[in-house]
A and B are shown apart, each in its own frame.
Chain A
């Protein structure tokens, strides 16, 4: 399995007039070809900004302070604007959360798909049209020849998201980043979209990074998971490890707050609010809300500790000197 993309200690900040908001504070991970990686976290955890950093879509005043993003052997952060433009939409594609607003209302759906195709591939208008219709068929839009000339407002939310996927995959990218693709949709539609993504992943052998705050979605699509909080990775591992054997209090908390039909227990939310990224805590970002927090957690940021094959967690509890604590969590 070859590495498709690798992030090395990426730090992204927004230099606002109020100060430096450190959105991503040192994130490293890698993704193999054909893999589906899930990134989970609350709003403000840095999960979306990390992806925007990969795509080079950060707008002023955001910028990647340091680190490397190696994609197919090249550091994306060293590319100039023109080079990045030929990567975006072509080798790496992204779809976003709200399909209702992600399409330009004054141009037809066909126009918007063909635009992507014609930008990156040297084809004629007629060929682009043909390809666009094929994409609509691929994502399951009925009556594609007619719908290609329709405007976004003539589609439902689920349909629009399918169009977004069609646009993203039209140039057969190696990597698809999906930022909360199903969050804004009804549960049943959500399932459809996720199934579609799984199907396309297998068909086109596209690697996927799926960003979400919903662990259930991750379990469905991904093979590996990253848990992020406060601009840092808290825990990383295979889906089974994270779900059945979580090694970080935050992950445990997340799992506890999933409602389950069988168990009639109360939902246990995690108390408190996310950290202020303008003045990030010097210790572990989760310490203030963690029931197991120790003094060291407030003072020093923990290192990563291995807890299995491909399973690591950034928590002082895993340090050999720390008191033995049983993390009661995980799905049964």
Chain B
């Protein structure tokens, strides 16, 4: 249409560029979309970061620490990560242990040495020490009364016969998390426990992963009678409470790290196998599998190139959730006494050891518990996020 001058521009045909802007929207592949969605999930990202940090500290922490997990120093047993110190004079400070022992410390909180009393005066409920020439007395007359009435102080400190108050509260610079009853550094033991928990978790999960994929993939792919029999076996195994059998196995084969992994490997693969089987069954029906078959692709190739990659979504989620499960099982077993043996430290054994002194030394329980909780939370957040991100129905 040719228009003359003076004609209203409105009636001219709109150019393709103007129209083109409005037309199309880009699309992403499955994995790109999933990663984008995962990144948006703040909790999952926090979980991921925590897990990475955990790995780093577990691997490198023990290398740079001055203590090893089994180094004992009995005189430094049961010292808290934070304590009160008394000033004797400008260069000498002391710390009073709940078991009525005295230690010299620096003003920062570094432990120097334990003090032997010069005289142990039980008649007067006093312990007399000498610190750098000064006479320090620990008076525990009120100990029994204090038990009934918590507002009364259990003991008094007298420096040169003058009653002294607490100077300040410091963090334990020698042992960051304090020590256990054997004088072992709790911090390093918790890190070491991380190593154990992570090792168990990963190895057990990998074992279950391979067994599960193998079993489930074959069962689902072959179908028919083979599938029926294999599924029946899985059903029977899952009707039995697995933890019981893990416990039984632990009793028979001596408890220890290897046994835990074997026991978990024998029992936990069923869940993964079920998922893989389910996925295989549904993917088997898809056209591209038929297409591959018509080309003459061998079964193994079909399984590995078509079916498994497409089933990866639920498999990955399942893996991520298996890890906290494994950590929990290991802690649980260690807690009831079937885990690693002393002096090795798993979070479960640490928690179990801490039970006895829970009233006086609650920190011994606090740190391993926090470690377990934070780790499991991190994996759970990540797992939840992965599940949402990999769910094709939520694609936008």
Contact = CB atoms under 8 A, between A and B. Distances in A.
- Chain B associates with chain A: yes
Contacts of A272: 22-24
Given A273-B24, A273-B25, A294-B14, A321 B19 contact: no
Contacts of B11: 294-296, 321-323
A292 interface: yes
B18 interface: yes
A258 B8 CA distance: 36
A44 interface: no
Contacts of B22: 272, 275, 281, 287-288
Contacts of B20: 288
A275 B21 CA distance: 11
Q: How many A residues are at the interface, by size bracket?
A: 20 to 34
Interface string B267-304: 00000000000000000000000000000000000000
A295 B25 contact: no
Interface in A292-332: 292-299, 321-323
Interface residues of B, number: 17
Most chain A beta-carbon contacts within 10 A, residue among B12, B18, B19, B25:
B19
Contact of B10 (A273, A289, A299): A299
B19 A288 contact: yes
Contacts of B10: 294-296, 299
B13 A294 contact: yes
A295 B10 CA distance: 5
B12 A298 contact: no
Contacts of A293: 13-14, 19
A322 B19 CA distance: 19
Contacts of A321: 8, 11
B66 interface: no
A321 B3 CA distance: 12
A295 B9 contact: yes
Interface string A261-278: 000000000011101100
B13 A288 contact: no
Interface in B88-112: none
A177 B305 CA distance: 48
Contacts of A276: 25
Nearest to B9: A295
Contact of A295 (B12, B21, B23, B24): B12
A281 B25 CA distance: 15
Contacts of A289: 19, 23
Contact of A323 (B1, B23, B24): B1
B24 to A, nearest CB: 6
Contacts of B1: 323
Nearest to A288: B22
A295 B12 CA distance: 6
Interface in B214-240: none
Contacts of B18: 295, 298
A298 B20 CA distance: 12
Interface in B1-54: 1, 3, 8-14, 18-25
A296 B9 CA distance: 8
Contacts of B23: 271-273, 288-289
B14 A298 contact: yes
A272 B14 CA distance: 16
Contacts of B21: 288
Contacts of A298: 14, 18-19
A137 B22 CA distance: 51
Contacts of A275: 22
Contacts of A323: 1, 3, 11
A167 to B, nearest CB: 28
Nearest to B3: A323
A296 B8 CA distance: 10
Interface in A202-224: none
Contacts of B24: 272-273
Interface string A187-209: 00000000000000000000000
Interface string B313-334: 0000000000000000000000
A66 B21 CA distance: 30
A188 to B, nearest CB: 26
Nearest to B23: A272
A297 B24 CA distance: 19
A104 B13 CA distance: 53
A287 B8 contact: no
A50 B2 CA distance: 41
Given A289-B23, A294-B13, 4 more contacts: A293-B13, A295-B18, A296-B11, A323-B11
Interface of B: 1, 3, 8-14, 18-25
**Which 6 pairs from chain A and chain B are nearest by CB?**
A296-B10, A288-B22, A293-B14, A272-B23, A288-B19, A323-B1
Interface of A: 271-273, 275-276, 281, 287-289, 292-299, 321-323
30 contacts: A271-B23, A272-B24, A273-B24, A273-B25, A275-B22, A276-B25, A281-B22, A287-B14, A287-B22, A288-B20, A288-B22, A288-B23, A289-B19, A293-B14, A293-B19, A294-B10, A294-B11, A294-B12, A294-B13, A295-B9, A295-B10, A295-B12, A295-B13, A295-B14, A296-B10, A297-B14, A298-B18, A298-B19, A321-B8, A323-B3
